[in-house]
A and B are shown apart, each in its own frame.
Chain A
């Protein structure tokens, strides 16, 4: 009796009629897989291969499975590698500290002008990354609009400078990647149901309590996505260190660029890129673990 009822289920009926239908989702995802294979998997395989080759540009590179290139680049450039991760992390923390209140304000206080503020946030992106960074070079000049008056008033010593220091580089990174933090946090906060906040106050939670126990936890996935979006590109950036940096602020991106374009040392550059990729993955997964998130990508997608 029960069996008869089951066969009447509409889903089963349909499945029986068109046996190929089970494959439909796979067919639909095929273009995506092909895209990934062509533009991600293939280049990555080529780059892995390149990182294990030896030779020079004029006479060609041959596959020799020369794994020690990896050890060599780590030995030579570990200082810059660690520095990049530290700068990236510092910029990410700064972005979160500045970006969260901004996102919070836009989500809860901006009212009907939300879209205007979001647009203002994105406005700088209509100007080239390099030009915006170069502008900071002008703003932060030793006797420029910012430091000049402070020095004139005697608040700073005449020798004080920001350019060519790690602060300038981290500041530049923070500035350039701030919207990548604000937007996902904003989206997460926007999704917080006002009724939950209301319920929290009904249950005698203080404003701080509501924020710490209700709003903040609900927005954490946004912060997580923001951290991924800022930390990864900020650590790999080479523009800020190049324009705002000094004698000892070189980041790993600058080294990869020089190895690739100036020295045409393709194996070295490829190996260094993978070391950076590995270091970033490690950092991101450690962070995810510390946060108690098991599935990084799922958390980021939420």
Chain B
């Protein structure tokens, strides 16, 4: 090697360098020309007319389903760990296998959904370009994204004449939700509660109220979420307002409550991704939690308590729906009807352990518990009597639904609640 590089010495600069030269002018002109194409770009809206009223909906249903036939195939996409698994082979799902045996429909099942937002971001371009997304059935949370799917015409209206088991076994509390009145586009897959989860050993007392999350003893040990929807609704409960009938003034009060909690140093972190493990490890003493997560944590040895606070907890629903671009919609509808059979719903609940939208499944789980032995018996017995999976009437009376927001409200809502966790 004969050449050695040395750091460049600063070049001498004269005042001439800064003068606007002819070349500089040319550059500026080119820059202005480059702005021109900007004017041509815009992102077109895609709002479709959403049918309302019985007759219009019936017409939309018949438009969509007339001439559609079963094809013996079904592509189903779901959240992770959200269906029953064969204990000896994690890749097999007994209820899906049973469905294939009954109906002859082959199911390709994927667990690719992490959360509503990223999933929407992933498939929206495919919807917008009119392509299929490769799935006939997907699970969508009952939040503002579901409203977007509907407003954009991405969902097929359901033919309820082919969903007799849903009509017969679907629990009343899970039908006719505010985000999809009359279940025009969706039926519930699983439901769940948002409440407070805590470790009694660390907290040293019973937690019964949202106000307990302001207790100085829990200073720096409370977990909240980076999720404006859940946080806002929870805070509305904390200030004594039913989210569904809340006003903009109530939202401000709720945001102030969260801010007070934050500024008092109560909150350790705002995270939906890590709260469960932090709670199990003891980094958090109490946290906003989903009911099913607590049940699952306790199955692996934790001693956590789940409580629906006195001011109320949230009942939310994840839903099955059929994309309007589905290649095999009839098979998707057949499956939707199948999962409302109490035996099937029970099998799924025994693994998933969220709130089961089929109350009749409780008897099936109890029967399975009686037939099982050892640890299996203990788990199923706990499950069949667990208010986390089959809420009691007293619990149900304390549960409220998420506020459904339109576009404008959503902006105001986010502007109020996001700065609290995105500080």
Whole-angstrom CA separation of A65 from B37 in the bound complex: 12
Q: Are B121 and A49 in contact (CB under 8 A)?
A: no
Interface size on A, residues (CB 8 A): 62
Chain A residues 49-76 with CB under 8 Å of chain B are 49-50, 52-53, 55-63, 65, 76
Whole-angstrom CA separation of A36 from B220 in the bound complex: 49
Q: Are B11 and A45 in contact (CB under 8 A)?
A: no
Known A-B contacts A63-B39, A247-B270; A142 and B422 likewise in contact (beta carbons under 8 Å): no
Tell me if B93 counts as interface (CB < 8 A to partner A): no
Known A-B contacts A60-B43, A60-B46; A247 and B267 likewise in contact (beta carbons under 8 Å): yes
A75 to chain B, nearest CB (A): 12
Tell me if A295 counts as interface (CB < 8 A to partner B): yes
Q: Which residue of A lies closest to B10 (CB)?
A: A292
Partner of A60, one of B45, B274, B422: B45
Chain A contact surface mostly: mixed
B222 to chain A, nearest CB (A): 10
Q: Which residue of B lies closest to A159 (CB)?
A: B220
Whole-angstrom CA separation of A302 from B281 in the bound complex: 48
Partner of B269, one of A134, A245, A254: A245
Q: Which residue of B lies closest to A161 (CB)?
A: B283
Partner of B46, one of A58, A65, A245, A247: A58
Q: Which residue of B lies closest to A292 (CB)?
A: B10
Q: Which residue of B lies closest to A53 (CB)?
A: B42
* B-chain residues with CB within 8 Å of residue A79 when the two chains form the complex: 423
Q: Are A254 and B422 in contact (CB under 8 A)?
A: yes
Tell me if B92 counts as interface (CB < 8 A to partner A): no
* A-chain residues with CB within 8 Å of residue B278 when the two chains form the complex: 137, 141, 163
Whole-angstrom CA separation of A45 from B40 in the bound complex: 11
Tell me if B228 counts as interface (CB < 8 A to partner A): yes
* B-chain residues with CB within 8 Å of residue A295 when the two chains form the complex: 8
B309 to chain A, nearest CB (A): 22
Query: What are 9 A-B contacts with C-beta separation under 8 Å?
Result: A46-B41, A49-B38, A59-B407, A63-B39, A144-B281, A217-B6, A247-B423, A261-B117, A292-B9
3 residue pairs, one from A and one from B, having the closest CB atoms: A60-B45, A49-B41, A59-B45
- B residues in contact (CB < 8 Å) with A: 1, 4-11, 34, 37-47, 117-118, 120-121, 148, 151-152, 220, 226, 228, 262, 267-271, 273-274, 277-278, 281-283, 407, 410-411, 414, 418-419, 421-423
Task: List 18 other contacts, CB 8 Å, given A49-B39, A55-B43, A55-B45.
Answer: A45-B37, A48-B38, A49-B38, A50-B41, A59-B45, A60-B43, A142-B282, A143-B282, A196-B4, A246-B269, A247-B423, A248-B423, A261-B118, A262-B414, A263-B418, A264-B148, A293-B8, A299-B8
